[in-house]
């Protein structure tokens, strides 16, 4: 039930401006005081090309102003190497199947090595079509494809943004120091830049 008290006539709330409000200058000073106060607080701007967020795996990862969680961030892909420095991919087409953007293209060939049947003769990723969802690294049974923390990548043509196998392995060489292979026990090589030349699997386990 609506009573008389519930009804508010809006026009009655209007009032005349006070003297200071009519002068406008105090109001301007009030507004500028906010600007002035901001000049003495901590600056929030990240001076990007000079300052960048450092990718880290350990330590205090809660400060988003200075650090990038390298284990979680999804940037440019890489193809991992196995202990002998060969490409770890076995060309099973799981990532190509899982990819929602269809940006991975693999040409499989018979492996020249005895410990696996297939290897990727060609492995192309269209970095422009990729949406960096990380489904490829989840699908990979040998953890050969991983996403790195690299994000500062632009291109002048579409062709140069299609990364082939060699370029993806280069990305691994550049990033394996900061972000080692996630699951090294599959091949026994953490990718820390010093392969110990252990065979990937016992040699009797050939298929």
Partner 1 sequence: MGLSKSEISPHPASRDDMITTRLDALVKYFQGKCGWAQRNSLWPMPFATACCGIELMATGASRYDIARFGAEAMRFSPRQSDLMICAGRVAIKMMPVLQRIYMQMPEPKWVISMGACASTGGVFDTYAVVQGIDQFIPVDVYVPGCPPRPETLIEGVMAIQRIIDTQGIQNSADRGGGLGLVIEPASEMVQVGKEQAAQ
Chosen residue from 151, 170, 188, 201 binding partner 1 by CB under 8 A: 151
Cα angle for residues 144, 139, 68 (degrees, 5° grid): 70
Burial class (CB in 10 A: 0-12, 13-18, 19+), 141: exposed
Q: By CB under 8 A, tell whether 35 contacts partner 1.
A: no
Burial letters 6-26, b for 16+ CB under 10 A, else e: eeeeeeeeeeeeeeeeeeeee
Q: Which region, judged by CB under 8 A, interacts with partner 1, from 24-32, 82-90, 99-107, 168-176?
A: 99-107
Q: Which segment (48-56, 134-142, 166-174, 188-196) binds partner 1 by CB under 8 A?
A: 48-56
Q: Which is nearer to partner 1, 6 or 50 (CB)?
A: 50
What's 186's DSSP letter? G
Taking a C-beta distance cutoff of 8 angstroms, is the pair 142, 187 a contact?
A: yes
CB of 41 to partner 1, least distance (A): 11
Q: Is 36 in the site for partner 1 (CB under 8 A)?
A: no
Q: Are 90 and 119 in contact (CB under 8 A)?
A: yes
| Residue closer to partner 1 (CB basis): 135 or 190 | 135
- Asked if 132 and 101 touch (Cβ cutoff 8 Å), the reply is no
| Minimum CB distance to partner 1 smaller for 34 or for 44 | 44
Q: Does 136 bind partner 1 (CB under 8 A)?
A: no
Nearest CA-CA partner of 191 in 85, 91, 105, 101: 85
Q: Is residue 122 a contact point for partner 1 (CB under 8 A)? A: no
- CB nearer to partner 1: pick between 130 and 140: 130
Can residue 28 be called a binding residue for partner 1 (CB under 8 A)? no
Q: Which stretch binds partner 1 (CB under 8 A): 136-144, 146-154, 173-181, 196-204?
A: 146-154
Q: How far apart are CA 140 and CA 3, in angstroms?
A: 69
Number of residues that bind partner 1 (CB under 8 A): 28
Binding site for partner 1 (CB under 8 A): 44-49, 52, 100-102, 126-133, 151-159, 161
């Amino acid at each position: 039930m609506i009573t008389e008290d519930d009804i508010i006539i809006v026009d009655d709330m209007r009032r005349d401006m006070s003297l200071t409000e009519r002068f406008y200058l105090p109001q301007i000073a009030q507004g500028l005081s906010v600007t002035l106060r901001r000049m003495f607080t901590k600056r929030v701007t990240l001076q990007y090309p000079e300052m960048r967020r450092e990718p880290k795996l350990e330590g205090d990862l809660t400060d988003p102003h200075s650090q990038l969680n390298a284990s979680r961030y999804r940037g440019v892909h890489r193809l991992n190497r196995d202990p002998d420095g060969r490409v770890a991919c076995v060309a099973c087409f799981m990532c190509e199947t899982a990819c929602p953007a269809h940006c991975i293209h693999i040409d499989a060939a018979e492996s020249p090595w005895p410990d696996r049947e297939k290897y990727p003769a060609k492995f192309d990723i269209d970095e422009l079509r990729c949406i960096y969802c990380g489904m490829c690294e989840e699908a990979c049974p040998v953890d050969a494809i991983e996403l790195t923390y690299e994000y500062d990548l632009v291109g002048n043509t579409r062709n140069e943004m299609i990364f082939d196998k060699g370029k993806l392995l280069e990305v691994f060489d550049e990033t394996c120091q900061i972000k080692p292979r996630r699951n090294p026990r599959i091949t026994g090589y953490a990718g820390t830049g010093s392969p110990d030349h252990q065979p990937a699997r016992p040699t009797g386990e050939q298929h």
